[in-house]
Structure 1
Amino acid sequence: MKHLIVYAHPRTNSFNHVILDTAVNTLKKNGHDVVVRDLYELGFQPVLTAADIASMRKGVIPEDIKNEQLYITEADVIIFISPIWWTGLPAILKGYVDRVFAKGFAYASGEEGIVKLLKGKKGLIINTHGAPKEVYNQIGMTDGLKITSDTGIFDFTGIEAIDHLLFGSVPDVNDAARNQMLQTVEQTIQTHFA
């Protein structure tokens, strides 16, 4: 299978980067093709501009958007790896979705409503956050994050959301807890993509 990992964290020594390495190594060990799009490393421009909209309405896709859409088209699986900041996606990843998951590419409007154009693909999301997991569960934030990403992005475009891992208290836990999180990443990938 071909996997596209869209990764969003500015620090190369972050725990998110260790998660990325774990995911890539596990997938490659299982014989999968993996492409990583590190949005910060690429300097991806996340702001959907008036010029972008006008161009796309004319059927002319800006080159940087067209390039990312090609990676999505070729992928069987799309994986997002990022922290949760202010209970949402980092701006660079939200901007990636705004610009790349465009109408006419990821979805369309038909007589019967929304047409999902990315059917047949699978999606996995791996997020970290600083708040304790129990707090996010208790206030409904875990469910809210799953609705906005799994349903609002993946399902809306036809991507089957197969799992969503959310790891809490990441800045405050010890190495043993982080290692357990990495084992969960590895086991989840093994379960879905052995």
Structure 2
Amino acid sequence: MNHLIVYAHPRKESFNHAILETAVEGLKKKGHEVVVRDLYELGFQPIVSASEIIGGLSEDIEQEQQHLKWADVITFIYPIWWTGLPAMMKGYIERVFSYGFAYKYVNGVQMGLLKGKKTVIINTQGKSKAEYEANGMGEALRLTSDKGIFEYCGLEVMYHLFLESVPGSDEATRKAWLEQIAYMASKA
């Protein structure tokens, strides 16, 4: 299978980067083709231009859309910042998941155009799951990304993994999370 990983974290020393490396290694061990789009390494420009609003696509966006067309499974790895996607990932979605490519309207009815593709979302967060669930943010995060972005565009969400309280987590917990990600990659 063809696996595209869209990754957004500015630090190579981050736990997010360890997640990326673990996922790539696990997928390649199973014989999958893997392409990584590290948005910071690419210098991806997250700001939508005026021409893109009226349907113009730049070469960099066409290239990203080719990667999405190629992929059977798309994995998104990013931290939760300010209870949402980091600006880099949000900008990627806004620019690459454009009208006519990822979704369209026919007679006023929205249609997801990425049907047949699957997605995995892996998020790290600073707060505990209990904190997010107590104030409704856990459900809001799932609704915003899973339903409001990925399912809206026709993707089937296979997993949405939230790794909680990452800054305060110990080595054993992080190792267990990486083992879980390696296991998920072995089942992809």
TM-score interval, smaller chain: over 0.9
1:143 corresponds in structure 2 to 139
Report the residue type matching 2:39 in the other structure: L
Q: Matched residue of 1:152: which SS?
A: helix
Give per-residue Cα distances to partners, 1:122-147, cap 9 Å, x unaligned. Answer: 00000001111221122222221111
Give per-residue Cα distances to partners, 1:7-43, cap 9 Å, x unaligned. Answer: 0000011000000000000000011000000000000
> Hey, what's the Cα distance between the residues in 2 that align with 1:143 and 1:184?
22
Q: Matched residue of 1:98: which SS?
A: helix
Report the residue type matching 1:151 in the other structure: K
Measure how far apart 1:182 and its partner are. 0.9
1:93 corresponds in structure 2 to 89
Counterparts of residues 51-130 of structure 1 (less than 5 Å) = 51-54=51-54, 56=55, 60-111=56-107, 113-130=109-126
Is residue 171 of structure 1 aligned with residue 170 of structure 2? no
> Hey, what's the Cα distance between the residues in 2 that align with 1:80 and 1:157?
15
1:182 corresponds in structure 2 to 178
1:16 corresponds in structure 2 to 16
Evaluate the alpha carbon distance shift between residue 148 and residue 52 of structure 1 in structure 2; reply closer, same or farther with a 3 A threshold: same
Q: Matched residue of 1:125: which SS?
A: strand
Aligned length: 188
> Hey, what's the Cα distance between the residues in 1 that align with 2:125 and 2:75?
17
Counterparts of residues 17-36 of structure 1 (less than 5 Å) = 17-36=17-36
Give per-residue Cα distances to partners, 1:65-122, cap 9 Å, x unaligned. Answer: 1010000011001110000000000100000000000000000100250111100000
Report the residue type matching 1:125 in the other structure: I
> Hey, what's the Cα distance between the residues in 2 that align with 1:25 and 1:141?
32
- Unpaired runs of 5+ residues, structure 1, are none
The TM-score with structure 2 as length reference comes to: 0.97
> Hey, what's the Cα distance between the residues in 1 that align with 2:108 and 2:57?
26
| Identity %, equivalent residues | 54
- Unpaired runs of 5+ residues, structure 2, are none
2:49 corresponds in structure 1 to 49
Q: Matched residue of 1:157: which SS?
A: coil
Q: Matched residue of 1:161: which SS?
A: strand
- Stretches (4+) displaced over 3 A: none
> Hey, what's the Cα distance between the residues in 2 that align with 1:121 and 1:139?
32
Report the residue type matching 2:47 in the other structure: V
Report the residue type matching 1:47 in the other structure: I
